[in-house]
A and B are shown apart, each in its own frame.
Chain A
Amino acid sequence: MTTITRLSKDLIGVLLLLLFGYCFLFVDIDTKDLAIPASLLNVNSIFLSIILEAIPFILLGVFASALIQVFVSEELIQRLIPKNPYIALIPAVLVSALLPVCECAIIPVIRRLLKKGMPLHIGVVILVGAPILNPIVFAATFYAFQSNTSIVYSRMGLSVVACILIGLCVYFFFRNSNQLRDVYVHEHEEVKVGNKIKQTLYHASDEFFDMGKYLLFGALVASLFQTFLDRQLLTNLASNDYMSSAVMMGFAYVLSLCSEADAFVASSFSHTFSPTALLAFLLYGPMMDFKNTILLLSFFKKRFAFSLILIITVIVYLVVMTYGIVSR
């Protein structure tokens, strides 16, 4: 009996491999006349492109997290982070500014750092800050808004403010409780030295599949929005700054763009939306979007993940609105 199941399982694997091999070698990628509606193909193209774009960065994040696991000790983290929880926010913001990582890559890194004993609110600051506050995003935003550089500097400045406020809020509500999902609270204590590389590779693929299933689902939903959401509708919804900022935040949420690319999309709205609304889009998108929510749920407790989304949303909105009123 067991041999039969064993055999059938092996057979499934071999068949899959053969299928991939066949597709790789023989399927003509240039064929065009497939009886599939173009809209579905559009969804598929966007779906695949989100995945292909995200995979390298998730892999990099996974490897970085594996390196942290091996090389950064808990004591080191304790020593580097100031004891005072408020002062500790400053190095956290600096670290986010230095790390050139996007939102996909940062999640496994933060998960690892939190496990290593980094205070919760510090982790959250880096989680929301790193995707915006980095040189590549600065350059992209600068390039997309060449003629209106105030947007570029406001984006960077406001995100520093928002990050610190978010950190404070998280500290206020959650202190330093463990909000990681129970599945992940274990630690790999002792690994035999020769096994480290093997363990790293094992973990890289385990972690990829852990996050991958959420990524795939997020990408699928985002690509549906990308294809079917009529962007002209947004314009009709946005009657004033209060409304249009909210609309643009919602838009950023469902699009789930990479923070490196969202400035270009934002610049295509510069005719129809005020700078305040554009900033709401540029601030909120990298901090929180549909893909991120799903990824966050994969490693934070549900209650914390949803509170975090709420905190980020409220603070970004308030910061942007304050900016809008002051700059008027």
Chain B
Amino acid sequence: MKKVDQQFVIYIRGILLIGFSLLMFKLILTGKIIQFIAPKMMPFILFSSCTFFLLGIVQIWRSSISTDESCECGHDHVEKGKVRTTLIYSLFLLPIMTGFLFSNHTLDSSVAVKRGVKFSANVPSKQPDQQGNNKVKSINSEVEEYTNKVLAGDSEEVPKNVPLEHQGNISPPKIPPKGFYKLLEKKLLKQKSINVNNTDYIPVMSIIENNVDQFIGKEIEVDGFVYRENGFRDNQFVVARFGISCCVADASVYGMLSTIENASTFKTDNWVHIKGIVKKATYNQEDVPYIQIQQIESIHQPDNPYVYELYQDEQLIGPGE
């Protein structure tokens, strides 16, 4: 008879649950968990780690008592056939073991090549839908006009001569929850040099990419890995980062095109810290910002190479706010 011993299956399940729980717990303890999922998911992982441990203990205890008591449902939750059972439970063992052994790996540029870089994060600059396009463009130019005026006035306050309906026009489409982008944009426009840190990497890059013209000539400092696409010139590469919203599966590549004379000395996937000037270029018929590198140095891969989308549930979380 090929019937699988149910008690044994329950026992093994209990052990596997404890295995999962230990893996998650270790990832949390070592901080490696953020190489798989965004920090905002942390409470969920903690919850499942504890629950699994509890469930595992209960399962092992359940397997040690007699069959009649263990399940009253009369059907079997277990699989038929020894080979199949073994295969299925090996499948559960697989992530636990690879998790323990190989979890220090972070995505490299071979994945980036397959995904393509987000040169300009949010605003569709070349959009097939004509109507939507015009709308966005006109709003953008209004925003630019407005910001330029504010800049010319060199003050944070709205100049009195700006008509009131102007304000009404620009607010709705540009303002994400809580107006964080607008505040940040204002702050950045006032700075002469911008140091892009890990926390607000994605918002800062999006703002620069969406308002290239206003950032031309500003000094910028940023870290990232060297990434190249087919068709890049010899002096070009992208200083790129993987940006994550929930888990590594949804990672997108963010980055800015950069130019330097001896670009080829910096190998793809190497990490660099660059300092340069923002300029504008055309790539694939799109206006994109690029950085003319003035200083470059190789650095070690940061402890956490990923950057994260700054939003949680329904609101943006601003760094340090």
Contact = CB atoms under 8 A, between A and B. Distances in A.
B30 to A, nearest CB: 5
Nearest to A51: B95
Interface stretch (B48-56, B152-160, B162-170, B274-282): B48-56
B17 interface: yes
A242 to B, nearest CB: 13
A119 to B, nearest CB: 24
B123 to A, nearest CB: 4
Given A205-B13, A223-B249, A27 B173 contact: no
A56 B47 contact: yes
Nearest to B22: A24
Given A41-B102, A145-B122, A265 B252 contact: yes
B35 to A, nearest CB: 7
B77 A47 contact: no
A257 B250 contact: yes
A149 B173 contact: yes
Interface of B: 5, 8, 11-20, 22-27, 30, 32-33, 35-37, 41, 44-45, 47-48, 51-52, 54-56, 58-59, 62, 70-75, 77, 88, 91-108, 110-111, 113-116, 118, 120-129, 131-132, 136, 139-140, 172-174, 176-177, 181, 210, 243, 245-250, 252, 286, 309, 311, 313-316
B245 A50 contact: no
B252 A147 contact: no
A255 B248 CA distance: 12
Nearest to B176: A146
A145 B27 CA distance: 33
A202 B99 CA distance: 26
Given A9-B8, A42-B111, A52-B247, A188 B102 contact: no
28 contacts: A9-B5, A17-B18, A29-B26, A29-B32, A31-B104, A42-B105, A45-B103, A46-B249, A47-B95, A48-B99, A52-B33, A53-B37, A56-B41, A142-B177, A147-B136, A147-B173, A148-B127, A150-B132, A202-B58, A204-B51, A213-B91, A213-B92, A230-B114, A261-B245, A262-B250, A267-B121, A268-B252, A271-B124
A262 B48 CA distance: 23
Contacts of B249: 46, 49-50, 53, 222-223, 226, 255-257, 261
Contact of B35 (A31, A45, A51, A188): A45
Nearest to B315: A139
A16 B19 contact: yes
A68 interface: no
A233 B114 CA distance: 9
Nearest to B114: A230
A226 B126 CA distance: 26
B209 to A, nearest CB: 11
B25 A56 contact: no
A229 interface: yes
Contacts of B102: 34, 36, 41, 44
Contacts of A57: 44
Contact of B59 (A21, A148, A205): A205
Nearest to B125: A271
Interface in A22-46: 23-24, 27, 29-32, 34, 36, 38-39, 41-42, 44-46
Nearest to B44: A56
B173 A146 contact: yes
Contacts of A231: 114-116
Contact of B247 (A9, A53, A201): A53
Interface string A237-278: 000000000000000000111101110110110110011100
A202 B173 CA distance: 50
A139 B48 contact: no
Interface size class of A (residues with CB under 8 A): 35 or more
A213 B88 contact: yes
A21 B26 CA distance: 11
Given A202-B62, A205-B58, A270-B124, A258 B247 contact: yes
Contacts of A229: 114
Contacts of B45: 52, 55-56
Contacts of B58: 198, 201-202, 205
Interface string A123-148: 00000000000011001101111111
A162 to B, nearest CB: 20
Given A147-B122, A186-B74, A264 B111 contact: no
Nearest to B25: A24
B239 to A, nearest CB: 18
Nearest to A56: B44
Given A39-B110, A271-B286, 8 more contacts: A9-B8, A20-B22, A45-B105, A53-B41, A143-B311, A146-B173, A148-B132, A201-B58
A17 B99 contact: no
A55 B48 contact: yes
A55 B20 contact: yes
A269 to B, nearest CB: 9
B77 A206 contact: yes
